[in-house]
Amino acid sequence: MCGIVGYNGMKQAAPILLDGLEKLEYRGYDSAGLAIRDGEKKPEVVKSKGRLRILSEKTNNGAAVPGNCGIGHTRWATHGEPSENNAHPHISDDRCVTAVHNGIIENYQEIRDKLKRHDYRFYSATDTETAVKLIDYYYKKYRQGPVDAIARMMMRVRGSYALAVMFDDYPDEIFLARKDSPMIVGVTDGETFIASDVPAILKHTRTVYYIGNMEIARAGKGEVTFYNIDQEEVEKEPVTIEWDAEAAEKGGFEHFMMKEIHEEPRAVADTLNSLIHNDDIDLSESGLNDDVLREIRQIYIVGCGSASHVGYAAQYTIEEMAKVPVRVELASEYRYRSALPLDNTLLIVISQSGETADSLAALRIAKERGIRTLAIVNVIGSSIAREADHVLYTMAGPEIAVATTKAYSAQLAAVYLIAMKLAFARKAIDTEEFTHLLGVIQSIPDKMTRVLEDKERIQWFAAKFSNARDIFFIGRGMDYAIAMEGSLKMKEISYIHSEAYAAGEMKHGTISLVEDGTLVVGICTQQDLYEKTRSNMVEAKSRGAYLMGLTTYGNYAIEDTADFTVYIPRTSRYFDAVLGIIPLQLLAYYVSVSRGLDVDKPRNLAKSVTVE
Ligand code: AGP
């Protein structure tokens, strides 16, 4: 949530910052702002409400604010409505301290009251302004310099933050602080780049430093020094990011979401290839050996949104294939529940960004409870990846569209391999079955490409339902897990109300919402449940529903029931979700496009939810 960028070098800062903010717009886009230093002059602050484009126009693409050092921000409002006044950067009254912030200062009200007693005035409704003025207060009171003032602020505030701060007295430096919100620093010859996330600086450098929790950094031109909260210098090794800059561009597609849907076969293939070696699944890099796998008595899977839907699909696969009990929990619920884990429980946390606040908190709580943790994460070096006992990276590459597609599929591929490895280590499947499944799973990327070839039909169908009021997605078993993800995709980018329902549950209440023409999408990829779900579709049709069927090639009798059908190739009953989701992603995409909506940046949402 909220995107932060910073630049300190020899070039004009504003155009570089605007370009970086554009790459981070998926983190928030209700307002944006820049603060630029031109030598010794006080920082020039420009802010605007709305999309980044407005800020670019206001600054003549950055040309109107000269200077070689600056910070920028794109906002997802937490405290205070989206407005120019609440947009970042925030400054102290005499413009001594200027800062941008991502996160939430939980005790901002009490600090604000204290500062008011010291004659500070507040002009915005944000918690950020409080942090800025608290730094200013300590800076002037103790006169020990920026690092000291920031360290004192960090001791005083509760909550989460990534802060980029400029001090009037230090025209050539940007100071950074971080707790539970991501921030990286890239250093090249004479230049320093700061960002909340990798895509913003990929085109400048792939060598980055991760600022640790409760650390401070002092970023000069082409150099950076790190400090712990006691203001002692910390040595750090840079990390090389393997993603290339092209991966963060649209590459000829109209939207990132469509580009990322087309990248799904590659994302799944790369994830599989990173873990399949010599006809075996190799989890050794994550430290999960067969002895550990054999000991596991129970698995918890936690995540938020789509990541939790991967968990529901994984639950069916793991329980059925490996015979290990699995419990899926929303991270936001798990963290406030007294879960009673058995001995030898494994908690798997799934997250594309690796920064989702609730997922990170759930991971920490599990570790406090002595539970072994495994992270399935897409972003290398993210907080969840660094804190989990074991890490398994998905190879989806940077995902920019707010609605996840390729990361979801890559996560499914990863959990399928875990299920197989677990099943084999525990002798729930034999060598023959393991080898067979290995062949099947490796055929998935080509089959995904085949599903994508059917997109024009889905586009045609989507146009008919662009004005739907309600859409229901129904399925049983694994198909219910796909339904949840299909429904989330639809509602987040089309703003049409949609619900996922276990097909057998429809007649326990929800079917009363079905009227003439209501679209009901019946998902029947599981052969043993196909007839059951089809019957539930017929029940909906009898109440006026318009039916879309999603099933595997061969189940052609569904056309007697459904008004429109999409077929996917067969894989194995364990893996069908990864093909079944693609038509639903395409359906949501095309409905959103035909409604003229901003597919990649749906209203009210941000890609990386770093607040609770
Ligand atoms: C999915 O389309 C959503 N944007 C959202 O549900 C997302 O999956 C969720 O916020 C979790 O994010 P993470 O994978 O980065 O932890």
User: Rounded to the nearest whole angstrom, what is the distance from the C-alpha of residue 378 to the centroid of ligand 1?
Assistant: 12
Instruction: Give, using CA atoms, the residue closest to atom 7 of ligand 1.
Output: 305
- Torsion (CA) 229, 232, 238, 241 in degrees, nearest 10: 10
Q: Which atom of ligand 1 is nearest to the CA of 404?
A: 2
pLDDT at 507: 84
pLDDT at 423 over 90: yes
Give the H or E element holding residue 575. none
Catalytic-residue membership of 607:
yes
The per-residue pLDDT for range 127-175, each reduced to its tens digit, is 999 999 999 999 999 999 999 999 999 999 998 899 999 999 999 999 9
- How far is 155 from 328, CA to CA, in rounded Å? 36
Q: Which of 411, 392, 409 lies closest to 265 in space, CA to CA?
A: 409
Report percent pLDDT > 70 for the chain. Answer: 100
Tell how far the Cα of 403 is from the centroid of ligand 1, in angstroms: 7
Nearest Cα to Cα of residue 228 among 219, 216, 218: 216
Structure tokens of 179? 């707790």
Burial of 254 (0-12, 13-18, 19+ CB in 10 A): exposed
Q: How far is the CA of 328 from the centre of ligand 1 (A)?
A: 16
Helix (H, G, I), strand (E, B) or coil at 416: helix
| Nearest atom within ligand 1 for CA of residue 309 | 8
Q: Whose CA is nearest to atom 5 of ligand 1?
A: 305
**Predicted local distance difference test score (pLDDT) of residue 612:** 76
DSSP-assigned states of every residue in 92-146: -TTSSEEEEEEEEETTHHHHHHHHHHTT----SS-HHHHHHHHHHHHHHHH-S-H
pLDDT, tens only, 270-312: 999 999 999 999 999 899 999 999 999 999 999 999 999 999 9
Residue 356 in contact with ligand 1 by CB distance below 6 A? yes
Asked whether 492 lines ligand 1 (CB < 6 A), one says yes
Q: Is 353 in the pocket of ligand 1 (CB under 6 A)?
A: yes
Q: If 0-12 CB within 10 Å is exposed, 13-18 middle and 19+ buried, where does residue 189 land?
A: exposed
Task: Please state, in angstroms and rounded to a whole number, the distance separating the CA atoms of residues 308 and 312.
Answer: 6
The answer to whether the CB of 610 is under 6 A from ligand 1 is no
Nearest CA to ligand 1 atom 3: 403
**Of the ranges 14-23, 75-84, 233-242, 322-331, which one carries the lowest mean pLDDT score?**
75-84
Helix, strand, coil in percent for the chain, rounding step 5: 40, 25, 35
For 338-392, what is each residue's pLDDT tens digit? 877 778 999 999 999 999 999 999 999 999 999 999 999 998 888 999 999 999 9
CA 400 to ligand 1 centroid distance, Å:
12
| Closest CA to ligand 1's atom 8 | 306
Question: Which conformational region is residue 418 in: left (phi greater than 0), alpha (psi within -120 to 50 degrees), or beta?
Answer: alpha
The rounded Å distance from CA 136 to ligand 1 centre is 36
How far is Cα 588 from Cα 489, in angstroms, rounded to an integer?
A: 6
For residue 306 and ligand 1, the question of a CB distance below 6 A is answered with: yes
Q: Which of 611, 588, 612, 604 is nearest to 255 (CA)?
A: 588
Choose, from 221, 489, 601, 607, the residue flagged as catalytic. Answer: 607
Asked whether the predicted pLDDT for residue 78 surpasses 90, the reply is no
Backbone region of residue 319 per phi and psi (left: phi > 0; alpha: psi in -120 to 50; beta: other values) = alpha
Among 310, 395, 325, 360, which residue's Cα sits nearest to residue 575?
Answer: 310
390-393 β-sheet, strand order: 326-330, 298-303, 345-351, 372-377, 390-393
Contact 189, 206 (CB under 8 A): no
Q: Which structure tokens are listed for 473?
A: 């997605």
Q: Are 383 and 331 in contact (CB under 8 A)?
A: no
Over residues 517-533, the mean pLDDT reads 93
Q: Which residue has the tokens 């490409």?
A: 449
HEC assignment per residue over 191-249: EEEEECCHHHCCCCCCEEEECCCCEEEEECCCCEEEECCCCCEECCCCEECCCCHHHHC
CA 353 to ligand 1: nearest atom: 15
Q: Is 603 exposed, middle or buried (0-12, 13-18, 19+ CB in 10 A)?
A: exposed
- Ligand 1 proximity of 359 Cβ (cutoff 6 Å): yes
Q: Where does the pLDDT of residue 199 fall: very low under 50, low under 70, confident under 90, or very high at 90 and above?
A: confident
- Expressed in angstroms and rounded, the spacing between residue 145 Cα and the centre of ligand 1 is 39
Looking at residue 560, its pLDDT comes to 92
pLDDT > 80? residue 28: no
